[in-house]
Structure 1
Amino acid sequence: MAQHSGSRQEQILKLLLSRAAGMSIDELATELDISRNAVKQHLVGLEKDQLVREAALNSTGGRPSRNYTLTEQGRNRLPKQYPWFCNLLLSELKTELGETALRQMLWRMGVSLARSLAPQFSGKDPAQKQSALLELMQSLGYHAEMEADQAQPTIKAVNCVYHDLAQQHPELCEFDRALIATLLDKPIEQTACMALQDCACKFKICNSGT
């Protein structure tokens, strides 16, 4: 029987993770020690969130039953431990390449991503590019906005999407600066950084001749 820890839906996701072929409603009900109707209700919610899907019919000699399996989104919903590996990777790169080369590499990565997104900014005037950039940053989780009270346009982001990593590897900010500068086709000056204990990350948009 499954332990009664976490939500029922979390328990279902964990059970399905261990069964590549999926599980039927009856099998889930047995493992969770709850009714079939309760399992159905949880599966409806999980399907609505696109975390599980119906799989092949499960024929065991009796009445065929439908199996349920995890979607990719469902697999990604379960805990992952990326930060420690990213920290290990960045530490190794810094040791192998040196700080300057690591910064240059992260800058190139930001430029490369910006170039792949360039069609979304093509033909836009500076104000439209800034608006498109804010939408992009919001979609990436930065919670960004323009600071209207600044002498020069300044982007303020109150959520650093890799805050813990940036505290240990401030070189990561090169990626953000390169991405913003390339998409706006303007020089960028970072005037505040959450990794340095500021309340937000701020990027001042400079004039090309500045």
Structure 2
Amino acid sequence: MRPTATLLESLPETQGEILRYLKAQGSTTLAGLADRLNLTREAVRQHLATLQEEGWIQRVGRLKSLSQGRPAAVFALTPAGDHLFPKFYDSLSLEFLDTLADNFGEEAVRTLLAALTDKQVARWETKLRGLSLPERIEALTGIYFEQDPYTHVEQDERGYLLVERNCPYLNLALQRPQLCSVTLATLSRLLGVRVRREAKFQEGDRHCAFRVLADQPLEPDYRFSFETESPFHRD
């Protein structure tokens, strides 16, 4: 089976070039990018605005101009932007999961991911104990925000939606989506209700969005399941 393309490869060509240039150079200005890409400054400015909104680049300072003009903003990758580029540990983790499945079966993978879920729940559940669902969502968002400042919660007529832009194992999850089951199971257990993914990096979205189904309480003995299984895979 052909591996899923990385998110970086699926971006518009110019945005990908900007990210690769920042990865190679460390930082640069709008003018530097315009010269490098042979584009107008306005075109580059629009791409930079999009990449900033996605949380993949940031302003890191200003470069003093040789003329009397304003200092130029300097841009660099954010940790989330840097993680778009494959890492050695991505390949190592992928080989580990495949070796585990090949030698011990999918149930061994399930056991491993369930244990990872247990560990995450144990780390955070004491901070949520005794709180109402809205209070848990607020506290959990704060916990996630410490790791990913681009995480936020939206509220609409259907309830709460947790939006995550900086997946901690993005490149690995693009090729082995079952890893996302850990996040779903962890959120469900911490909130005490079913959670469903409505937007996915794997489907071309630039984020994952988790719908909190407040009217669907989780079974008390629930531990873990893959995203394609109950309680996640149903209406």
TM bracket (short chain): 0.5 to 0.7
Tell me the CA shift for residue 107 of structure 1: 3.4
- When residues 104 and 198 of structure 1 are mapped into structure 2, their CA distance, relative to the original with a 3 A threshold, is farther
Q: Is the 8 A contact 2:194 2:216 kept in 1?
A: yes
- Distance in structure 2 (CA, Å) of the matches to 1:131 and 1:125: 10
RMSD (Å), alpha carbons: 2.5
The CA deviation at 1:205 is 0.8
In the alignment, structure 1 residue 163 sits paired with structure 2 residue 170: yes
Q: Would you say 1:148 and 2:150 are equivalent positions? A: no
SS state of the match for residue 153, structure 1? strand
CA offsets, 1:70-105, max 9 Å, x none?
xxxxxxxxxx84222112111212223434552453
1:85 is matched by which residue type in structure 2?
Answer: L
Asked whether the 8 Å contact 1:103–1:174 carries over to 2, the reply is no
Deviations 1:106-159 (Å, cap 9, x if unpaired)? 134213321232111112111111011111112233732112235121111122
Partner of residue 136, structure 2: 129
Match of 1:172 in 2: 179
SS in 2 for 1:148: strand
In structure 2, how many angstroms separate the alpha carbons of the residues matched to 1:141 and 1:180? Answer: 16
CA distance in 2 between counterparts of 1:179 and 1:142 reads 19
> Which residue of the partner structure matches residue 117 of structure 1?
124
CA contact (8 A) 1:115 1:182 kept: no
Aligned partner of 1:192 among 196, 199, 214:
199
Work out which structure has the larger RCO, using CA pairs closer than 8 Å and 6 or more positions apart in sequence: 2
Identity rate, percent: 23
Is 1:90 aligned to 2:97, yes or no?
yes
Change (3 A) 1:101 1:157: same
Aligned with residue 208 of structure 1, among 189, 213, 216: 216
- Amino acid in structure 2 at the alignment position of 1:89: F
Task: Give the structure with higher Rg (CA).
Answer: 1
Report if the CA contact (8 A) 2:100-2:108 is conserved.
Answer: no
198-207 or 142-151: bigger deviation: 142-151
Unpaired runs of 5+ in structure 2? 1-24, 27-86, 218-234
- Work out the CA distance in 1 between the residues paired with 2:175 and 2:157: 30
- How many residues were matched structurally? 133
TM-score for both structures, normalised by structure 1: 0.55
Distance 1:99 1:155 in 2: 29
**Structure 1 residue 208 displacement after superposition:** 2.6
Q: Report SS of the residue matched to 2:183.
A: helix
Contact 1:103–1:172 (CA under 8 A) maintained in structure 2: no
